[in-house]
Every structure is written in C-alpha cells, then in structure tokens.
Structure 1
Amino acid sequence: MNKFKYYFILLLAGIAIVSCNKSDDEDVVTVPPRDYKEQYKADNDSIVKYLKSNYMTVVHAPGTPQDLDVVIKKIVPGDGNVSIWDQKEYPLQTRKVYSNDVNYEVYFLSLREGTGSKPMNTDKIVASYSGNLLNGTVFDSSYGNAETFNLFAYSPEGSVIEGWSEIFPQFRTGTSTTNAGTGVITYDNYGAGVMFLPSGLAYYASGKGTIPAYTSIVFSFKLFDLQRMDNEYTISSSTGGVVILGDGVPDYLEDVNGDGYVYDFRNTTKYPNPPKELIDDTDGDGIADFVDFDDDGDGFSTRFELTKPTTEIGIIGGINYGTRLYYPWDPTVDNPNTPNVDEYEPRGIPRRPTGALTDPTKPESATNTKKYVEEDYTAPGRLRIHLDKTYPIKKN
C-alpha cells in the first residue's frame, strides 16, 4: 500500500511537471528590441569610457604585412600611457550617421588615409581586419589576409555591418604589385584605421557568435582595394531574392551631392526622417539615382539613354568609336595593363544634342531632332541625357 502511494505521488508530480513545461512553451514572451535612441546613449557612454581608459600602440613597418597593426590595452594607473581619447598622434575623429531615426556620432581613428580611391558605401572592398569587444576579447580576425566584402546593404551575396559601410568610405585604397612567379599580391600605401561602433551600427539585438546582443565593438582595419558597383536591383518573382541588374552608371557616379554616400530611403522604417542633404534623387520620385532605373523620370530607362547607336560601335568609316555598346561616363583611353581588352572610348554620355536640325525648315520634335556635335560628348559640366528629362523628346 505504501509503495502504491509512493508511485502515485510520483505520477502526479510528473504530470504536474509536464503540465508546467507545456504552459511555459505556450506562454513564451517575445521581448521587443530596445529603443535605438536609448541604446545609443548607453553605447556611446561605454565607448567614451573605453577611449579614455585604454591606450594603443601602432606598428610602423612600411612595406611589410605588419605595417600599421594596432594593439589596444587597458591603462594601468601610473604606467604613463596616454589614452586613445587624449593622444594627439592620431586625432580622434567622428562621423555623423543617420540610421533608425538616430543621429549617431561614430568615433574613428585614421592611421593613414591611403593614396588611392575612396569606396562608396555600396562598393566592394578588399580589406583585412581584427575585431574586439570593449573588454579586449578578440572575436574575429582575417589574420592580416586580404578578403573581399560588399558594403551594399541589399547585396544578394550578403553584406557587412552598417558601421563598415559608414567608415570605410572615409579612407582610400593603396597600390598593389603582383609577383609574376607566385601571383601573390602585395599592397602598400593603403588606408588604415580603427572604428568604434555602437551596437545600432553593428549586430544590435541579434548579436553574433561570441558577440552578445546590444554590444559595442571595435575594428582595426586596412583598406587595400575596391571594385566599383552598379547596384540597381529588382526582386525575383520566383525566389523573392535580390537580383542586381545595374543601369550602366556605377554608384559613385550617381552620388548627386558628392558626399561619397548614397542611401535607399524607401525603407521608411529605418529612415523615417532622412536629412534632405543626404538625398541623391535627380527626378524627386523618392528613388535614389543609384537604385533608379530611370534617373531623370522621363519615361526612358537610363540604360536606353546610354545605348550607343550601332553606327558608333567599332571602326566606322575609318573612325574608331570604341567597342562598347554603351557610352561611358566620360571618354576613356585604353588601359595598357589589360592587353586583351580595349577600353578606348572617344565619347562619353552626351548631353542633349546642340547641332543643326535634321530638317531646318521644321521645328524640333521627336521626329526632327538636332544632330550631335563632338562637344556634346565631351564638354565639361554637360547635363548628360540620362539626367535631362527634356530628352529624348516624346512623341505627341
């Protein structure tokens, strides 16, 4: 009898435990993400404290893979080391970033700007990096190796965190030499720096690997090279994924305000109140030029307006018009480093033609256009036809 009571009590206890677990599963509470503005205040306080309580050493070994490597350590009272905040050799800089309706000020250091070109925040880059938490824990590194990354937020192959897209364009690429025997590429004069990122421009609520949610992080980095991108995209009807098509004009040439950054402000959740000075939208249709297939809104696609007539492709009548099907931004000369490709193009994207009318006795119209003169393809400061909504002339 006692044994029966014992097992009966265990059975009831087991049922109770199962019941409690089931209830817990059904009552899972989803915790909403923290407020971005409040989290930024906490992140910024942590970053400033980090900058004031740590010092860094920089390896100066020009021409070696160790050039401008960075080591950051905590200051020990009385050790005589000067904090990152107070040191003067590499003055602390900030960049203003608007994202998730927060006006961030991102701290970064420029160890060397670099001598080449600046990437756009939508280009591909070749870089090396090392990342650590504010407690000094290294969570990731390329170990000095050059790797390729896409800064474009909507890249179908995946992109980097937002902080990278904002800080890398502050630097320039370097120079490169390729060993003829081994094929190994050596970089020099590249940009190098350190960025201190609040969680809102990093992994925020999701975290990643050993990076906890809502964690500010630090990256030291080197910018070796870049690839210009042309990012007009569409969404695949079959897969729902992003498909990059481009319109013939690289993103860096669609930066209307010339600040080195372009943004797709159609994402009104992320950008509810975008500053007007950040908008790069020629036709004012709410679609930035770098993702707009019709930049001037004239009903003719940019790709159509950049297409060269078949009479201006290749050698015609003894004149070399270049081999491309589309006009480049400006006339280009052949690159001797690409012997198998002829980049020569004597004409860039033209402006609205200014020559004589096809029929001088009739007014200008879609069927009686003016003829192009050579200056229409080369004049400095010309309004190129893909940005001129008055051309092509529409038929009545």
Structure 2
Amino acid sequence: MKSLFKLVLVLGLFNGLYSCQNDSGTTITEDRPYDEVYLEDIAEIEDFLDTHYVTVDADYNTTFTQIPDGGTQTPISNMPELEFKEVEKHDITYKVYYLNLREGSGESITKVDSSFVSYKGFNFSKTTVDSEDTYSQTVFDSKQSPVWLSLDELIIGWTEIVPLFKTGTYMAMPDGTISYDNFGVGVMFIPSGLAYFSSGSLSIPSYTPIVFNFKLYNLRRRDHDRDGILSMYEYGPNFVDDAIDTDGDGRPDYIDVDDDGDGVLTTVERSFTYLDGTETKTGYYPFNGALVDDPTTPYDDTKGIPSCSNDFTTATRLRRHLDPTCRN
C-alpha cells in the first residue's frame, strides 16, 4: 500500500544525478526528465477523462466507468464540475484536473494546516487488444473513516488541490458520534511529477498518474515552530509562491523560531507586560488583534503584533518580529 506521505528513500539521494555502477556492480538508474514524463501523464489523464464517466452516490462516493462503444454517458471531460489548477514545479506548468463535486460551506484550509479527510486513491492503466482499449483501475490506498493529515507533509498534488475546498458543518449526535454536512468533496487527477514520480511500488508503477477522491470534513490550524503565530500567517501571501524566509537562513518563517535573525526569539518579540491589579504579567500579541476588545482582560485585545513604531493596526505594517533593526 502506498502512503499519501512524501517518500524519503535512500535511493532518492542518487536519483536524477547520474547513472552508473557502484562497486558492487549494481546499476543506479537515472530518473527520467520531468517534462518528458509530464507529457505522457497529461495525455493519459486526458484520455481517461475523455473515455470515462463518473457515478456519484448519495454519500459522494465516486465510481469511474469506461464509456462503452455507442454509449451516451457524459465523459468526465465534458462535466461542468471539471476544473484545473496550474502548478509551477520542476520548470513545468503542470495542469492538475479536479472535479469540484461540492466546494464546502465552512472554513478555507491552507497548505500548512491539518486536514480531517477520508479518501480513496487509485491508478489506472490501458491495454489495447485488436484495436480495442480496455482500462483497469487499482485501488492502492483508502481511508473511509476520516483521519488527520498535515497537508504540508503530503504529496504536492494534495497540497495544491485540497486548499481549493472548504470544510463543512458538524454537530454532536446523541450517541456520541459527530455528524458532518456540507463538507468539501472532490476528485483530483495528479500527474506523477506531483505525486510519487520514479518511486514505484507493487501497486503504483514508476511514472504513473494517480487519482484521489476526497472529502474534507474539518481542519486544524497549525503553529509549526510554536512561536504563537499560526503557520498560515507566516507562510506568505495567498500561498502562491514558496514560503517566506525573512532572514534568508534557509528556514521558512513558519518553521523558524527567530524569523528576522536578530538573535531574539519571535515569541519574545511578540510579548508585552501589563498590570493585573498590582501584579506585573507577560502577555503576547496575536498576529492580528481582535475586532472587539474584551472588557474582562486588563489589556487591549484589538492590538496585534506592532511595528517598531508601535503601529498596531495597519494591515501592511512591518511587524517587529520581522524587523531585524527593532528590539523588543
């Protein structure tokens, strides 16, 4: 069974560097070029979309069936729910098709959050006999009961497509279970360059595009470096580029405990002192202040992390934990 999580293989240290024989005579095979593989992958995916229709049941489970000769079923490629996202990677503009079966009515998730999802993953292959094409599908991973998965630890296809959907609503049932409704549901068709690429297995051959049906029930915001600032705020605007690394030390801000490299921990730079009666205490500014001050607290809750000049509110201000010239 293939895991959704990124693969870390010793062999991967050598992939793409060279092809030779080591001292034991074992051949190390060079990875194929990403652009060459992508052209094959996208052709296979689009052929699958042209030759199959999808059935969606009441629980949003999907079944993909090949359209028979003379069949009148609507191919996936003609469905209004079919969309695509372009992803820049490996000097390639990947086109990642996905079915937006239901966007969801809740919160938007980011690529640095944890997702509560169920899913089914499969790959497909085509054989041609007497000029007749026949497709087979192989399920390689399935979680019908929801599990928590951190999006930034998954294959790129998941990291890019799942944030296009939202969570739903939920409520506790009398029997102690949780009922979810109006959650996001989709299907993604992922080229191998954004999945497992050359890392083959018994269930997923090397350079094979894969398909996932998924349901996004809930999310958890993460704080990777535990500095009190959610990773979604530290990653960068709109998540369209690589994560921001303010001090250029090779560690993006969301996993860096000293974002501006000034020798003062970020958590210290967002701290302040206040009087609670006659006792001096330490508080911590949130990234953004609250819309309304809580009268029960002895400080102003509307203040977010300030700039070095104590600007607490301007959205574009340079917060002091990102300003190496500023000292707390």
User: Which residue number corresponds to residue 99 of structure 1?
Assistant: 89
User: Which residue number corresponds to residue 319 of structure 2?
Assistant: 384
- Using the size of structure 2 for normalisation, the TM-score is 0.78
Matched, 1:82 2:58: no
* 1:99-143 CA-partner distances (Å, limit 9, x unpaired): 334332211121111122222212211001111112322222212
Q: In the TM superposition, what is the alpha-carbon distance from 1:377 to its structure 2 partner?
A: 4.0
2:254 aligned partner, one-letter code: F
The DSSP-based 3-state class of the residue aligned with 1:211 is: coil
Runs of 4+ residues over 6 Å off in structure 1: none
User: Which residue number corresponds to residue 269 of structure 1?
Assistant: none
Q: In the TM superposition, what is the alpha-carbon distance from 1:208 to its structure 2 partner?
A: 3.7
User: Which residue number corresponds to residue 292 of structure 1?
Assistant: 256
Matches within 5 A, 1:257-272: 258-260=237-239
CA contact (8 A) 2:34 2:193 kept: yes
User: Which residue number corresponds to residue 337 of structure 1?
Assistant: none
Matched, 1:196 2:189: yes
Q: In the TM superposition, what is the alpha-carbon distance from 1:297 to its structure 2 partner?
A: 3.9
Q: CA 1:345–1:98 in 2, change beyond 3 Å: closer, same or farther? A: farther
Matches within 5 A, 1:1-396: 26-59=24-57, 61=58, 66=59, 68-88=60-80, 90=81, 92-134=82-124, 135-143=136-144, 145-152=145-152, 159-179=153-173, 181-232=174-225, 246-256=226-236, 258-260=237-239, 278=242, 280-283=244-247, 287-309=251-273, 311=274, 315-316=276-277, 325-332=283-290, 346-352=301-307, 376-378=311-313, 381-392=316-327
Indicate the structure whose relative CO is greater, using CA pairs within 8 Å and at least 6 residues apart: 2
Structure with the greater alpha carbon radius of gyration: 1
1:70 aligned partner, one-letter code: T
* 1:262-298 CA-partner distances (Å, limit 9, x unpaired): xxxxxxxxxxxxxxx5453445555432233333344
Quote the sequence identity (%).
Answer: 38
Structure 1 gap segments, 5+ residues each:
1-24, 153-158, 233-245, 262-276, 335-341, 355-371
User: Equivalents in 1 of 2:197, 2:316: separation in Å?
Assistant: 43
Q: In the TM superposition, what is the alpha-carbon distance from 1:380 to its structure 2 partner?
A: 5.0
Structure 2 gap segments, 5+ residues each:
1-22, 125-135
User: Equivalents in 1 of 2:300, 2:193: separation in Å?
Assistant: 45
The DSSP-based 3-state class of the residue aligned with 2:208 is: coil
User: Equivalents in 1 of 2:187, 2:300: separation in Å?
Assistant: 40
State the Cα RMSD in Å. Answer: 2.9
Q: Which has the higher strand share?
A: 2
- Using the size of structure 1 for normalisation, the TM-score is 0.65
* 1:334-386 CA-partner distances (Å, limit 9, x unpaired): 9xxxxxxx9x97254332365xxxxxxxxxxxxxxxxx6xxx44555543221
CA contact (8 A) 2:98 2:188 kept: yes
CA contact (8 A) 1:328 1:345 kept: no
Q: In the TM superposition, what is the alpha-carbon distance from 1:209 to its structure 2 partner?
A: 4.5
User: Equivalents in 1 of 2:208, 2:289: separation in Å?
Assistant: 48
User: Equivalents in 2 of 1:284, 1:27: separation in Å?
Assistant: 42
Q: In the TM superposition, what is the alpha-carbon distance from 1:81 to its structure 2 partner?
A: 0.6
User: Equivalents in 2 of 1:190, 1:381: separation in Å?
Assistant: 33
2:264 aligned partner, one-letter code: F
